[in-house]
Amino acid sequence: MANETSTIKVPQSIIEISAFVPEARNDPHTPLKALRGACPVMRDEMAKTWLLTRYDDVRGLVNDRGHVRLPSKAEEGSLPRRLVDDENDHSRTSILFLDEPDHARIRQPLAKAFYARINRMKPDIEAIIDGTIAAAPDTGSFDLMEAVAVPIPVLVIARILGVDERMLADFRQWSEDVILGLNPVRTEEETARLASGAQALDAYFTELMSARRIQPRDDLISDMVTLQASGEADITDDELILNLQALLVGGNLTTTDLIGNGVWLFLTHPDQLAALKDNPGLGAQAVEEVLRYEAPVSATSRILAEDQSVAGCPMKAHQAVFCSLASANRDEGTFDAADRFDITVKRASHVAFGGGPHICIGAPLARIEARRVYQKLFERYPDMRLVEQEIVWRALPFFRGIEQLDVAV
C-alpha cells in the first residue's frame, strides 16, 4: 500500500489546520501528519507566519530564550499582530506575551506565591473536586462538561485567588469574553465582548486588591499585595491586575478541556480505562498521555528578534513562528506508535504546556486537578459510558476541547 500520508492533501495554510475548517476541527491529526511528512517548516504568506510541526523543531523554538513574544514586535499583517488592534496599548499585557526583563520580574514572585498556595491548598482543591463529583447526578445521563469539567477549574482558581464565590457566574462569563483576545480573527461583536469582559475584570480586581490591603485573607490576592507592599515583588497595580486575571483566564478553558478530552479518551479506550483502574499508580502518567494525545492548547508562537536560521530555514527578524503542539506531540520520530493512546508506557515528555521561559505557569495545578478528577469520577461511576452522540469540537482556534459530552452512569 502507498504511504498513507501520500494520499492526503498537504495543507497549504494555517487556516486549513485550524478549528475554523470542520474537517480539521474534527480531526486535526491527519492534516498535521501530512504536513510533518511533506513540509515540516511551512511559510504561510497570507498569515505572514511560519509553522513548525516536528517535535525537535518545536522544542528548539520554545526553549530558545532569544525569541520574543510581544505581538507588536511581529511583522505587520502577521497572526500575532492581528491579536492587538492599533487602538490598544500594546505594552499592556500579562506575562503570556511579555518579554524580558519584565517577564521574569513579574513571573518569578508570582510563580513562587502561586505554587506555595497550590501546595497549601491541595486539600481544599481536592475537596472542591470531590464535592463537585459527588453533586453530579446519581443515575441516568448528563453532560459531563456542564456537571464536572466546566465548574471545577473555575471553582478552584476562584478559591486560590480569593474571589467571592457568589461572583462565579459573572467570573466565568468575563473569563470567556477575555479569552476571545487569543482569537486573531474575532468579529467586531467579539471584540466588544472582549473589551467589556476585560473592563469588568479590571474593576473587580481593583476593588478586591484594595479590600485585601485593608484586610488580608488567606488567598493569593492577599499574598501578592503583601509582597508588593514589602517591596519583595516589584510589580505595579496594573501588572498585578493583568497577571492575576491571566491565572483566572488561562486556567479555565484549558483545564476544562483536559478533563473533557481525558474522560472522552478513557471512555473510547476501555482497555486504557481498565489499566488505570487496575493500577491507580498510573494516574500521573495517564494525565501526561491525555495531554500528549489531545493537547487542550494546540499551538503557541514566538517572534524572531533577529535574522537567523530556525529548523534549518533562513528566517527574518520580526517574523512570527507558530508551532503546532498538537503535531509535535504526535511526531513518530519522538513517540513510538504516536497515534496510539497508551497510558501504560513511559514516553518522552510532551510539549502540551509549551516550554522555556514561557512554559505554562499553571501546569502543576492542571495536573493535580485532572488526576483527581479521573480517579474520583471513575470510582464514583464504575459503569460510566458514552451516550450515542456526535462529538462537537470547539471552534476556537488554537484550543482543542469538546463542547458537550453526554455520559450515562
Cβ 7 vs Cβ 298: under 8 Å: no
Q: 5 vs 72, which CB is nearer to ligand HEM?
A: 72
Question: Is 320 a binder of ligand HEM (CB under 6 A)?
Answer: no
- Please enumerate, as own/partner, the contacts of 106-113 that have beta carbons within 8 Å and a separation of 24 or more: 106/235, 106/239, 106/243, 107/357, 107/361, 109/224, 109/227, 109/232, 109/233, 109/234, 109/235, 110/224, 110/233, 110/235, 110/243, 110/361, 111/361, 113/220, 113/223, 113/224, 113/227, 113/233
CA of residue 108 relative to chain centroid, distance: 20
Q: 48 vs 371, which CB is nearer to ligand HEM?
A: 371
User: Minimum distance from CB of 139 to ligand HEM (Å)?
Assistant: 30
State the amino acid at position 364 in one-letter form.
P
Q: What is the largest CA-CA distance in the chain?
A: 72
Question: Is 133 a binder of ligand HEM (CB under 6 A)?
Answer: no
Tell how strand 49-52 and strand 141-143 pair up. unpaired
Q: 160 vs 225, which CB is nearer to ligand HEM?
A: 160
Question: Is 80 a binder of ligand HEM (CB under 6 A)?
Answer: no
User: Minimum distance from CB of 298 to ligand HEM (Å)?
Assistant: 9
- Per-residue cell: 176: 470567556
Among 225, 246, 326, 373, indicate the residue that binds ligand HEM (CB under 6 A). 246
User: Minimum distance from CB of 260 to ligand HEM (Å)?
Assistant: 11
User: Minimum distance from CB of 398 to ligand HEM (Å)?
Assistant: 9
Q: 9 vs 115, which CB is nearer to ligand HEM?
A: 115
Question: Is 247 a binder of ligand HEM (CB under 6 A)?
Answer: yes
Measuring CA to CA, which residue among 141, 250, 256 is closest to residue 201? 250
Measuring CA to CA, which residue among 130, 153, 169 is closest to residue 248? 153
User: Minimum distance from CB of 308 to ligand HEM (Å)?
Assistant: 19
Cβ 327 vs Cβ 37: under 8 Å: no
Question: Is 297 a binder of ligand HEM (CB under 6 A)?
Answer: yes
CA-atom Rg of the chain in angstroms: 21
Q: 178 vs 361, which CB is nearer to ligand HEM?
A: 361
Cβ 14 vs Cβ 79: under 8 Å: yes
Footprint (CB under 6 A) of ligand HEM, residues 96-125: 96, 107
Question: Is 354 a binder of ligand HEM (CB under 6 A)?
Answer: yes
Question: Is 273 a binder of ligand HEM (CB under 6 A)?
Answer: no
Question: DSSP string of 36-53?
Answer: HHH-SEEEETTTTEEEE-
- Please enumerate, as own/partner, the contacts of 1-8 that have beta carbons within 8 Å and a separation of 24 or more: 3/37, 5/33, 5/34, 5/37, 5/38, 8/33, 8/34
Among 28, 296, 397, 401, indicate the residue that binds ligand HEM (CB under 6 A). 296
Question: Is 362 a binder of ligand HEM (CB under 6 A)?
Answer: yes
| Candidate segments 21-29, 165-173, 222-230, 242-250, binder of ligand HEM by CB under 6 A | 242-250
Residues 6+ apart with CB under 8 A from 16: 24, 31
Tell how strand 320-324 and strand 406-408 pair up. unpaired
User: Minimum distance from CB of 162 to ligand HEM (Å)?
Assistant: 14
Among 32, 84, 129, 157, indicate the residue that binds ligand HEM (CB under 6 A). 157
User: Minimum distance from CB of 354 to ligand HEM (Å)?
Assistant: 2
Among 133, 233, 265, 361, indicate the residue that binds ligand HEM (CB under 6 A). 361
| Chain residues that interact with ligand HEM, rule: CB under 6 A | 62, 95-96, 107, 157, 246-247, 250-251, 254-255, 258, 295-297, 300, 325, 352-356, 358-362, 365-366
